């Protein structure tokens, strides 16, 4: 898998044309959703380097990360004369970088792609690492490919346009990066004031978070081993996300991951000895900032069925987890019985209130 060039922007107006100048292309396309079009595209619209760009806009939200919208993007590219020598910019959050990255990877067997993430979640997770895809058959990211963007431009100025919910959604992935890296990083994240956000301090944490992910992806680009560390919180998290979608009350990805980490930290405490004090410190931070997903023991069967479809499972009927023995002590390929999964869900319901 080719290496991504991640640029922490000093000034997007300078960094974007400089980055585009490194590539040759016949046509330039910019994909965005209706929110990005309203709040973010005006920032770059007048840049001379984008004056001839063809724009494509799709609906906002994960419900649009599907085969029908993907087909619309392909159709737009075809209609506008895109070739294998075109360049495709994804301007938006994780839904856009996932969908657009997959569209670029598959159109004419692949065209060059660049990500300009505009949400915290996309900056620290979706836009970096090369995973692309769409939801299918009610399942998160069921269809996709490893296809890294040639460049990722990180401009934290976009974060000031985000609402608090989307800041928190991205922050959950940062908290995960802290848990899988080291105690100092985790401690800074746990102590960060989410009510009065210091954006300069947040940018430093973003850079640190991206560095954690880049290091792991470089070690294991195709998720054969240590990259599974990045799945911490996601086995339960994806089940929660799919459950909420099925209930017609979708939740932001980071919220689902935060709730998933509550369960998987508890399982880590039981199975691999994760310290009880750090378990409850992290759970308290999540409880205070993310609230809870409402379900009862009557929903356990459905949640278990969603987990059975998780791509991380090593074999049919076996649910695979990434656990922690300590902050930074990663234990991949851990399995859980149905009884243990129910116990995790019981803990979640008890501790989250």
Report the catalytic residues: 109, 131, 173, 213, 223, 227, 231, 234, 238, 253
Q: Show the 3-state SS of the chain.
A: CCCCEEEECCCHHHHHHHHHCCCCCCCEEEEEEHHHHHHCHHHHCCCHHHCCCEEEEECCCHHHCCHHHHHHHHHHHHHCCCCCCCEEEEEECHHHHHHHHHHHHHHHHCCEEEEEECCHHHHHHHCCCCEEEEEECCEEEEEEEECCCCEEEECHHHHHHCCHHHHHHHHHHHHHHHHHHCHHHHHHHHHCCCCCCCHHHHHHHHHHHHHHHHHHHHHCCCCCCHHHHHHCCHHHHHHHHHHHHHCCCCCCHHHHHHHHHHHHHHHHHHHCCCCHHHHHHHHHHHHHHHCCCCCCHHHHHHHHHHHHCCCCCCCCCCEEEEEEEECCEEEEEEEECHHHHHHHHHHHHHHHC
């Amino acid at each position: 898998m080719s290496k991504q060039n991640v640029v922490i922007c000093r000034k997007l107006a300078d960094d974007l044309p400089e980055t585009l100048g490194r590539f040759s292309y016949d046509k330039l396309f910019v994909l965005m959703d209706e929110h990005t079009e309203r709040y973010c595209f005006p920032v770059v619209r007048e840049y001379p380097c984008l004056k001839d760009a063809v724009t494509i806009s799709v609906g906002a939200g994960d419900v649009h990360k599907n085969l029908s919208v993907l087909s619309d993007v392909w159709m737009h590219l075809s209609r506008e004369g895109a070739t294998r020598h075109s360049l495709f910019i994804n301007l938006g959050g994780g839904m856009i970088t996932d969908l657009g990255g997959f569209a670029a990877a598959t159109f004419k067997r692949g065209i060059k792609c660049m990500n300009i993430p505009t949400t915290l979640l996309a900056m620290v997770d979706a836009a970096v690492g090369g995973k692309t895809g769409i939801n299918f058959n009610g399942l998160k990211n069921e269809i996709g490919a490893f296809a890294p963007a040639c460049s990722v431009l990180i401009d934290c100025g976009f974060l000031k346009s985000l609402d608090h919910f989307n800041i928190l959604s991205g922050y959950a992935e940062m908290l995960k990066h802290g848990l899988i890296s080291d105690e100092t990083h985790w401690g800074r994240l746990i102590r960060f004031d989410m009510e009065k956000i210091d954006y300069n301090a947040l940018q430093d944490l973003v850079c640190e978070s991206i560095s954690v992910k880049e290091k792991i992806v470089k070690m294991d680009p195709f998720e054969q081993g240590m990259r599974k560390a990045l799945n911490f919180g996601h086995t339960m998290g994806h089940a929660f996300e799919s459950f909420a979608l099925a209930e017609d009350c979708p939740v932001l990805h980071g919220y689902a991951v935060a709730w998933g980490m509550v369960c998987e930290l508890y399982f880590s405490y039981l199975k691999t000895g994760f310290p009880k004090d750090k378990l409850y410190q992290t759970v308290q931070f999540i409880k205070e900032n993310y609230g809870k997903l409402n379900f009862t023991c009557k929903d356990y069967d459905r949640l278990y069925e969603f987990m059975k479809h998780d791509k991380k499972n090593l074999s049919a009927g076996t649910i695979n987890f990434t656990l922690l023995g300590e902050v930074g002590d990663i234990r991949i390929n851990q399995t859980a019985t149905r009884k243990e999964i129910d116990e995790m869900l019981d803990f979640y319901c008890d501790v989250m209130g």
